[in-house]
Structure 1
Amino acid sequence: MLQTLSVFFLLAALAKNLVGASPQKVILSSRVAPLGKSLKRRALSPSNIPLADFFKGTDLQWFGNITVGTPPQDVTVVFDTGSSTLEFASAYCFSVGTLCSTCASQIQFDSSSSSTFVDGGRTSTITFATGVGVDPVVGDNYQLHLRSATDTVSVGGLSSPNVSLFLITEQTPTFDIDPFSGIQGMGARAQGFFAALIAGGLPSLFGLFLTPLSVGNAELTIGGIDETNFSGNLTFASQVGTGAAWELSSPGISVNGKTTSLLDTQRTIIFDSGTSNVLFDTDTAEAMYALISPDIQPNPAEPGTYGIACDLIPTLPADIDITFTSQQGTPFNLTIPSNELSVGPFASNSSLCQTLINAFDGLELVGGSLLKHYYSVWDVGNQRMGFAAI
């Protein structure tokens, strides 16, 4: 889930064109050195956090439990690589423009019950560039009003005191359906609880196993890699830029084995575990759709989205290969398979299915529709990302 206000991400300059062998489908190489010995010398050991999948007809978001306060209160959060801060529903939460609480289906943190809570007193507003599920962002329809604070935060049994956080005091109704209470940012620059744990000796990386609901057993590994969740080797690619966004340089995109001059262009792509769909510039989105079916057309009822008659979806091949370059200079592809093409019927027209690529000029991003097909490693300390087949 990508935040637009509150200064989080600036797109990095595009890297120089990379020249090499023809890409192969994730032939994974250059495994990171085994972590076992180094972990034994650390003050803190990795921890696995089970994740649940917000399904709603398609895989949308993965979320897990943290605790906040003394005594600890359970809070459910999306571990979001597209943002950097911790914010969650509080007992003060209500809907913008209404007098009634809209956090009734979410766990609400009660600051008055925590002896370690310190009110920061600063208020702010954040607006998200990408939403919680597959619904488009229109204006400020994904917006949170926040109040700053600090408290003790524990994740997977690893605890940090005096962590900076934000209480949600108002939210737009688009968040009302969420079964989770908030968002824990996991950007490329460690902040908050993760920075504190790293300072205490935890290895500065985490692994994500974002499985479809039908597979289950999704998990986040804080401070390490769970090798039982993937096969073969990990391939690592270097982070682009020095910002908080997880970004990799891509020399090209192909759809069903075909490309165009527009798609075969160097670009920087953000990896966002808090976003469900794929976002590209309008021209790029339409070039990709042209290689799938001319029947996929914009849906003016929901700007930025595209759709096609639901009964045509099974007839369409739609494998999307996005090429990256490993730290050894070898091209490799990350693939979004055809079964991700539809993200379900539009609410306004049940016979028209929304397709996964949204048009968003100025932003190129992949989310859960790609990540759930790979084990991913987010190496903050070495500023790189790793991928392995599952």
Structure 2
Amino acid sequence: MNTAGNDVFFLTLGAAMVLAMHAGFAFLEAGTVRKKNQVNALVRVITDFGFSTVAYFFVGFTLAYGISFFAPVSELNLLNGKANGYEMVHFFFLLTFAAAIPAIISGGITERVRFWPNTLATVVLVALVYPFYEGLIWGGNLGYQAWLEATFGAAFHDFAGSVVVHAMGGFLALGAVVLLGARKGRYAKDGRVLAILPSNIPFLALGSWILCVGWFGFNVMSAGNVEGASGLVAMNSLLAMVGGLLAALVAGRNDPGFVHNGALAGLVAICAGSDIVHPIGALVIGVVAGAGFVFGFQVVQNRLKIDDVLGVIPLHGGAGLWGGIAAGIFGLSSFGGAGGVTFMSQLVGTLTGVAIAISCGFIVYGAIKVVMGIRLSEEQEYHGADLSIHNISANPEQDMAAH
């Protein structure tokens, strides 16, 4: 049996499933924004993926793992001594994670961000910022994991990226959203929160479903090879997803946006400990994440007056932070978990990622704002990003008939 070939095929399927998740990001955003911004949402998600691929290929993957693709094909097929071009499909798989960073941020800054300045931010984040933390945790860089193990008794455990991917994306978005400012008409001068309704609930629901399905590639295939694939990861992902959606259903009082995002909150939170927690622990993690998302969304939008359109700060940032810490609770053998983790290591590793994300979000978007500006003009925002940037609407025939 060609074990290397099986592993390449296994990881290719995983990469394709996570690639499909980007369609989920796109439709979740297209359904949540107003009709005049649907095209822009779809275009930004797919083009961000393209720019992320180039940035990660030439810089990011090398920064995180020390592997370069500047070599003859004969050498590429045997990188790191792994046959069948394993490291190349490993790049593809990890790229889909890296490209999730701008896809997550996109949901927070949508409806008023300029196209090319945002593209520049995507390149910087995927080439430098995300791979720096990724390299610390998954690449063994700078002795960070060794220090955590020596200090707290275990390395930081993040099996599929609650913190490395989701908290990083969610808290990078904080700086971007704050620096952009709220959409016109979101908050009244007297402090009232004004409703801006989504354009298409079925699109929103479709985006959530696509993400839910693809997430099993995100989590299970993070094993990296066929031999390491675990049914425990699949079951824990399922129970956390269900816990999140049911908790959001109750906490959000049947609101469809909360229900569909609650499922995603549970999946975000289970990524870190999906391979070590007990299924009942996974259900609890999902319940806390789903309810926490509803509460966090209301705090961010209504109390803090931060116009995070899709709620990516509580959904990916908050649930990701909870997932990183929860792995240090429910992963303990005393809680029925597999062990091999410590609470302090999970806490410190998580807060390190959050600190890097928040600071770099403000630095990167702040610098771009100063140099070239990041927000559409008031007139462009009024007409919508679709016509202002792409010169076409989501339903051009209908719009022509209306006029």
TM-score bin, normalised by smaller chain: under 0.3
The structure richer in helix per residue is: 2
The structure richer in strand per residue is: 1
Q: TM-score when scaled to structure 1? A: 0.26
